[in-house]
Structure 1
Amino acid sequence: MPTVLITGCSSGFGLETAKLFLEKGWNVVATMRQPKTDILPTSDNLTVLRLDVTDPDSIRKVVKQVGDIDVLVNNAGFGAAVPIELIAPETARQLFETNTLGTLAMIQAVLPKMRERRSGIIINVTSSVTLKPLPLVGVYRASKAAVNALTESLAIETKPFGIRVHTILPGRSPETSFGTNAMPHLRGLDNADYKPMIEGMIASFREANGPVTHAADVADAIWRAANDPGTPLKIAAGEDAMQWMAEAGQP
């Protein structure tokens, strides 16, 4: 029975993905910074562990405890919607430390054993905002675009070892805590120049008009990447993300 380790399972995409893999009979290691055991079905195949992707000791303990990992899903991350001019340096660092360096740290922790076994799959969840420039998410977008670039090179490096690598690009989702988690980092509402732009962004996100991405869309895309060797390197998850990818001229 294969084992999948998923980061960021306390809500949204990670939680839905853990549920799907459990339903399919996999061994699921659902990791969270603050573990919650009551949000997932009771199962002998489920292990819930504390993991902070910015904490090397936390990563080492989890990887050692779990043992062989067939599929790694790097889903943990957070967002911040702030004008580039106004973003706090500490917020910028946190975005890259969590979204980019946290993903890299997980890859480096899991990849050696995958390489020894000559098998394994690494799936990195980024964002469809990397497909086109948008205001107020420049630093967040950069942190996710860096993971896209890293994944492309990683796919080349690991192919000789029988290891597949994929990137999932979700769209805007009302089912995640992205907006809630981003609000504490918001700056600029007291700036006359940026205020209209920020208020428009907040209103647009809350209304969620038009196509959106559901957590199930992302879970299904991750499942496909984990089980279908013919899955492309980049997978748009959600109707809006698929539209953006088509507009960007990417397969």
Structure 2
Amino acid sequence: MKTVMITGSSSGYGLETARFFHSRGWKVVATMRNPNKAILPCSERLRIIPLDVTDERSIAAALHESGPIDVLVNNAGIGVVGAFEATPMSHIRKVFDTNTFGVMAMTQAVLPLFRAQNSGVVVNVTSSVTLTPMPLAAAYTASKMAIEGFTGSLAHELAEFNIRAKLVQPGYAPTTRFGQNSELNIDDLVPAAYKAFAQPIFAAFANPALTTRESDVAEAVWAAANDLSGRLRFPAGADAVALARAS
């Protein structure tokens, strides 16, 4: 029986991915900063472990508590929507701390374990903004684009150790808390000079032609985790697939 560790499992893609793997007979280690927010019921095959990906001591403790794992899904992330000009650098650093450096820290911590067992898969969840960058998400896009390059390079670096690195690129899911999982209100990040520009963009967000379901992402993560080919990228959701085909 294989074991998957998923970061950011309290809601959204992480929660659905944990459910998906569990339904297929895997052991699941669902991690989150605050286990009190856990929706998943603990069982013999499902454990909930506290983990803050921006804290190296927390990472070490979580990996020690989890025991051997076969797949790491780096899903934890935070969003920020607004004009770059109005986004404080302190907040941009927090976005990178979680979305970029948190992914790197988790990966660096798990690689010695994967090398020791001569197997393992790292699945990094990015975003469809890496396929077609969108306005009012410059900092978020940059944090995810960095992981695209990181994972592509890592895939070559780890191949000789029988370790695979994959990317899942979710599209826009209205049900997720993108932008809400932020310390800043969107209104604070759209100065008056940007209002006319931002209005139709936010209207399009409210009424997207194509969207991504949380189950689409879970299925893409499953496919990536079990893929034995050299394929790197797995778009998730109708909108992301359309963007991938067009790019």
Q: State the TM-score, normalized to the length of structure 1.
A: 0.93
Quick one: percent identity of the two aligned structures?
Answer: 47
The aligned counterpart of 1:192 is: 192
Moved more, 125-134 or 143-152: 125-134
Conserved? CA contact 1:118–1:161, under 8 Å: yes
Matched residues in 1 for 2:183 and 2:116: separation? 43
Cα drift, residue 41 of structure 1:
4.0
The aligned counterpart of 2:152 is: 152
Matched residues in 2 for 1:5 and 1:42: separation? 14
Matched residues in 2 for 1:66 and 1:156: separation? 27
Query: Which deviations, in whole Å up to 9, do the C-alpha atoms of 1:4-58 show, x marking residues without a partner?
Result: 0000001110000000111111110000111147512442101001101001111
The aligned counterpart of 2:226 is: 227
Cα drift, residue 66 of structure 1:
1.2
Conserved? CA contact 1:188–1:195, under 8 Å: no
Matched residues in 1 for 2:3 and 2:12: separation? 21
**How many residue pairs get matched?**
246
Cα drift, residue 153 of structure 1:
0.5
The aligned counterpart of 2:143 is: 143
What is the identity, as a one-letter code, of the residue corresponding to 1:245? A
The aligned counterpart of 1:202 is: 202
The aligned counterpart of 1:181 is: 181
Q: How does 1:160-179 map onto structure 2 within 5 Å?
A: 160-179=160-179
Query: Which deviations, in whole Å up to 9, do the C-alpha atoms of 1:98-156 show, x marking residues without a partner?
Result: 00000000001111010121100000000010112321101100000000000001000
Q: Structure 1 40/239 Cα, relative in aligned 2: closer, same or farther at 3 Å?
A: same
Cα drift, residue 199 of structure 1:
2.7
Q: Give the 3-state SS of the residue equivalent to 2:29 in structure 1.
A: strand
What is the identity, as a one-letter code, of the residue corresponding to 2:149? A
Task: Kindly indicate whether residue 114 of structure 2 is the aligned counterpart of residue 93 of structure 1.
Answer: no
The aligned counterpart of 2:211 is: 212
Conserved? CA contact 1:18–1:28, under 8 Å: yes
Structure 1: stretches of 5+ with no match in the other structure: none
What is the identity, as a one-letter code, of the residue corresponding to 2:122? I
Q: Give the 3-state SS of the residue equivalent to 1:180 in structure 2.
A: coil
The aligned counterpart of 2:67 is: 67
Q: Give the 3-state SS of the residue equivalent to 1:212 in structure 2.
A: coil
Matched residues in 2 for 1:197 and 1:54: separation? 34
Q: How does 1:92-131 map onto structure 2 within 5 Å?
A: 92-131=92-131
Moved more, 123-132 or 173-182: 173-182
Q: What RMSD in Å do the two structures reach over aligned CA positions?
A: 1.5
Structure 2: stretches of 5+ with no match in the other structure: none
Query: Which deviations, in whole Å up to 9, do the C-alpha atoms of 1:55-87 show, x marking residues without a partner?
Result: 111101001111211000000001101212221
Matched residues in 1 for 2:243 and 2:133: separation? 11
Q: Structure 1 38/92 Cα, relative in aligned 2: closer, same or farther at 3 Å?
A: closer
